[in-house]
């Protein structure tokens, strides 16, 4: 049915926008449209809300995007190409629409408004938009298009079954091309799930689908791109690279055999996601330098290596902050890592300030109380003071090294090692951090010393401490955390599924619940799973969690 597209060139413009930076985004759109026209594409497709950036946040309350769209239309009026772009459409009353606009040489040809507004995890689109109503396919320059925006095709996803009443695909059948413009962030498993949704859409509509996604990081959210064209028989072609801005020119063919889509191994996907996450955070904010506190442990080693990969070795300083509890091994491992990565280091001992602070407290606030978590937190917080003093005095920001297992259980010091401008590993479980370290050592020439990967993890805040004094073994811990946090299973369900002792599970769930207050004040966290801590997970600080234990 889509033979009419023979020799038609479609450009998929997978761009990296900045939220609210309308002029910047528009310049990029014009540039990509020009390049697409130069390459003889007849139509160029940009992602959802490409003009204002996605997610738009409460800035939408200020926006007057109709004007901004008009400027874009004016600026592209000499280009011999049809442009498809996501923007908002104001309504005289009530909320605006999340729209797809098609224009060519100064003239708007069509508008489509998103029908299905997602409201789960990190999505809150009912906050900003009114839903559109399903549209019949439209004819543009003699060709028939089915139009959709992101969630509109997720009606085909088995996990979302039943949550929407309307089906935007209902009247789309045998068209020349289904267009879907998206803002679909990366998480593990999501690219495969998403491809399944696109394939189902192609099959159900019996039409090829051109899918165009955002790429790049918006603070915590990382968009992997992976724009592509999918045919009704399931063949996939013209896949844009993951985590890279790019313009793909696709020639729509009748049918044929194309190379199968091969997903990246998931741990390498996490590596790429975290690197672009760091790079975009620094690049979009104009930041030049990162400080990483190096303990000689696995988390700080991995963060430091990722920062070097993202920013270059000149832009990273490793900061050793030893105490009387720091082992020589740890110092050696940290220095070896820095040498392997080629970064400068600083050595700022915390011993004197620690004793100075403890003395004031012992003289004036308490006497003869045993060493406990108080003194552990004081050490961690002096390190925070050092790191952020470097940031203040010398410029740049501090990267946070807390992993997801620690954040989940509250195994970390608020305002201490939980501080930082960006949480690099906050959505990566401890057992995954080790796997990530292996990937780093493959890619970065064994940068992380082998001993870091094999010694028992320790916070070194008191003599002979190890993480397992406080926490269950990490494989047990992570197995429970994934089921509790990501799969919303109750204690009983987890016990049944894993065979882990119910008391261990209850203890873990209690730790998670008790520490909502700490996570509330954690840095933004690069999201790589389907349920990261942050805006996508909303739990009360004051509350109980009775049903979690059922």
- Residues involved in catalysis: 48, 114, 150
Could you tell me the CA-to-CA distances from 460 to 227, 328, 357, 411, 414 in Å, in that order? Answer: 46, 11, 19, 13, 17
CB 464, min distance to a second copy, A: 21
CB of 350 to a second copy, least distance (A): 8
Smaller CB distance to a second copy: residue 206 or 323? Answer: 323
Neighbour count for residue 58 (Cβ, 10 Å): 8
Q: How far apart are CB 310 and a second copy at their closest, in Å?
A: 14
Instruction: Please say which residue, 390 or 437, places its beta carbon nearer to a second copy.
Output: 390
Residue nearer to a second copy on the CB measure, 142 or 372: 372
Q: Minimal distance in Å, beta carbon 349 to a second copy?
A: 7
Contacts of 349 (CB under 8 A, 6+ apart): 321, 322, 323
Residue 159: CB minimum distance to a second copy, A? 12
**Which residues, in sequence order, are bridge partners of residue 535?**
none
Residue 528 near residue 427, CB atoms below 8 Å: yes
**Residue appearing with tokens 């063949």:** 235
Minimum Å gap between C-beta 476 and a second copy is 21
Q: Which two tokens stand for residue 2?
A: 């889509």
Q: 124 vs 157, which CB is nearer to a second copy?
A: 124
Q: How many CB atoms lie within 10 A of CB 47?
A: 31
What DSSP element (H or E) covers 30?
Answer: helix 22-38
Nearer to a second copy, 207 or 219 (CB): 219
Class of residue 3 by CB neighbours under 10 A (exposed 0-12, middle 13-18, buried 19+): exposed
Least distance (Å) between residue 19 CB and a second copy: 4
Which distant-in-sequence residues (6+ apart) come within 8 Å of 487 by Cβ? none
Could you please report the per-residue DSSP string of 181-199?
A: E---B--TTHHHHHHHHHH
* CA–CA gap between residue 214 and residue 136 (Å, rounded): 26
Closest distance of CB 222 from a second copy, Å: 12
Element (H, E) at 116: none
- For residues 395 and 370, is the Cβ–Cβ distance under 8 A? no
Closer Cβ to a second copy, 306 or 384, answer by number: 384
- The enclosing H or E element of 143 equals strand 143-149
25 versus 405: smaller Cβ distance to a second copy: 25
Comparing CB distances to a second copy, the nearer of 231 and 386 is 386
**Shorter beta-carbon distance to a second copy: residue 436 or 522:** 522
25 versus 340: smaller Cβ distance to a second copy: 25
Q: What is the closest distance, in whole angstroms, from the C-beta atom of residue 445 to a second copy in the complex?
A: 29
Q: At what angle do helices 298-311 and 266-285 cross, to 10 degrees?
A: 60
Q: Is the peptide bond before 42 cis (omega within 30 degrees of 0)?
A: no
Distance CA 217, CA 224 (A): 9
Collect all residues with Cβ–Cβ distance below 8 Å to 154 and sequence separation of at least 6.
Answer: 116, 118, 160, 197
Nearest residue to 406 via CA among 379, 375, 427: 427
Q: Could you tell me where the beta strands, DSSP code E, fall in 215-282? A: 215-218, 221-224, 228-230, 236-237, 246-251
Q: Using DSSP, how many helices (H) and how many strands (E) does the chain show? A: 15, 19
In the complex, what is the shortest distance from the CB of residue 85 to a second copy, in angstroms, rounded to a whole number? Answer: 17
CA distance 303 to 294: 9
Between 247 and 320, whose beta carbon lies closer to a second copy? 320
Q: Which residues, in sequence order, are CB contacts of 86 under 8 Å at separation 6+?
A: 46, 47, 48, 49, 50, 51, 54, 98, 99, 100, 101, 149, 181, 183
Nearest one of 376, 352, 375, 351 to 365, comparing CA atoms: 375
- Shortest distance in whole angstroms from residue 165 CB to a second copy: 9
């Amino acid at each position: 049915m889509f033979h009419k597209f023979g020799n038609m060139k479609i450009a998929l413009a997978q761009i990296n926008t900045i939220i609210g930076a309308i002029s910047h985004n528009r310049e990029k759109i014009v540039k990509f449209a020009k390049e697409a026209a130069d390459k003889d594409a007849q139509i160029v497709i940009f992602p959802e809300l490409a003009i204002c950036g996605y997610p738009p946040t409460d800035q939408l309350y200020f926006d007057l995007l109709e004007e901004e769209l008009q400027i874009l239309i004016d600026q592209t009026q000499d280009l011999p190409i049809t442009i498809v772009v996501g923007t908002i459409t104001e309504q005289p009353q009530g909320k605006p629409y999340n729209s797809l606009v098609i224009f060519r040489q100064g003239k708007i040809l069509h508008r489509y408004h998103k029908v299905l507004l997602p409201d789960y995890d990190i999505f809150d689109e009912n906050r900003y938009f009114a839903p559109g109503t399903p549209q019949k396919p439209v004819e543009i320059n003699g060709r028939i298009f089915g139009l959709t925006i992101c969630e509109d095709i997720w009606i085909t996803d088995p996990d979302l079954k039943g949550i929407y009443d309307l089906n935007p695909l209902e009247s789309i059948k045998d068209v020349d091309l289904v267009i879907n413009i998206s803002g679909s962030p990366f998480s593990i498993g999501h690219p495969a799930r998403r491809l399944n949704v696109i394939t189902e859409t192609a099959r159900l509509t019996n039409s090829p689908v051109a899918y165009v996604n955002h790429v790049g990081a918006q603070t915590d959210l990382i968009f992997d791109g992976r724009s592509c064209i999918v045919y009704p028989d399931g063949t996939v072609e013209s896949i844009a690279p993951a985590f890279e801005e790019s313009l793909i020119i696709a020639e729509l063919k009748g049918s044929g055999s194309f190379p199968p889509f091969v997903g990246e191994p998931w741990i390498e996907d996490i590596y790429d996601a975290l690197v672009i996450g760091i790079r975009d955070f620094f690049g979009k904010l104009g930041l030049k330098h990162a400080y990483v506190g190096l303990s000689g442990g696995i988390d700080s080693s991995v963060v430091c290596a990722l920062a070097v990969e993202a920013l270059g070795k000149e832009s990273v300083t490793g900061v050793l902050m030893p105490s009387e509890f720091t082992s020589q091994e740890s110092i050696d491992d940290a220095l070896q890592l820095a040498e392997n990565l080629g970064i400068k280091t600083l050595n700022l001992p915390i011993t004197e300030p620690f004793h100075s602070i403890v003395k004031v407290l012992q003289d004036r606030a308490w006497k003869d109380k045993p060493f406990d978590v108080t003194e552990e937190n004081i050490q961690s917080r002096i390190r925070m003071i050092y790191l952020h003093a470097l940031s203040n005095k010398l410029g740049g920001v501090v990267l946070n090294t807390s992993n997801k297992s620690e954040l989940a259980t509250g195994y970390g010091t608020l305002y201490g090692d939980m501080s930082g401008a960006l949480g690099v590993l906050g959505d990566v479980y401890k057992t995954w951090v080790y796997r990530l370290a292996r990937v780093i050592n493959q890619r970065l020439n064994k940068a992380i010393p082998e001993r870091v990967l094999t010694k028992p993890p320790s916070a070194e805040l008191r003599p002979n401490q190890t993480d397992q004094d406080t926490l269950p073994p990490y494989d047990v811990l992570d197995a429970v955390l994934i089921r509790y946090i990501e799969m919303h299973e109750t204690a009983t369900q987890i016990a049944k599924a894993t065979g882990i002792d119910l008391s261990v599970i209850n203890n873990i769930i209690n730790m998670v619940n008790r520490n909502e207050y700490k996570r509330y004040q954690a840095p933004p966290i690069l999201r790589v799973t389907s349920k990261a801590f942050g805006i996508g997970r909303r739990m009360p600080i004051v509350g109980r969690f009775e049903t979690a234990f059922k």
